[in-house]
Amino acid sequence: MPESVSLYTLKSLLEHPEFSAGDYWYEKYYDANQVVFLEGDKGRNIYVILSGQVSVCTRVVLSENQQMLSGLCELFDGDEFAHSCFFDDEPHSATVKTVTDCRLAVIDAVKLKQFLDNNPELGYRLLTHWIGIILPRIRQGNKRLSSLFSWGLKAHDIDSLF
């Protein structure tokens, strides 16, 4: 393997000679405004955006008969998503939809685990990279939740009790 290849991201892992397309991953093309997966779907793949842009959103229930989609973030070339299926069997917690025409690398999470078990140094580097991706997302979610909680207290005049 060439030393110039830095194996810290899934996108760079796609270049590893032992992590071959067809065995561990494949490319899939999506038109603009196409759903990649829905919130609640069972997930078993991790995605890398090779080109294009996607939107990540979640369903917000306003009432028994009323729902809306709330945008969480936009992701671009090189970004990764749907990491959680690597760690658990829970369904997707958000919907991902293409904003533009997209080319995605679709990586089988079970096969990725097997590959990383056989290549623990790469696994360590990749998990460290993922922590760097996931922690800011958790922090952003915590800030949004705190702001929403504050808004709710003010909207119901509960903040005046403190």
If you average pLDDT over residues 148-158, what whole number do you get?
A: 81
Q: What is the pLDDT of residues 9-61, one digit of tens each?
A: 999 999 999 999 999 999 999 999 999 999 999 999 999 999 999 999 988 88
Is the pLDDT at 137 greater than 70, yes or no?
yes
Q: What is the pLDDT of residues 104-135, one digit of tens each?
A: 999 999 999 999 999 999 999 999 999 988 88
Among residues 39, 45, 80, 84, which one has the least CA distance to residue 57? 39
User: CA-CA distances (angstroms) from residue 55 to 14, 30, 51, 93, 94?
Assistant: 23, 13, 14, 14, 10
Domains and CATH numbers, the chain: 10-157 (2.60.120.10)
Query: What is the structure's pLDDT at 5?
Result: 45
If one compares 24 and 152, the residue with the highest pLDDT of the two is 24
If one compares 27 and 71, the residue with the highest pLDDT of the two is 27
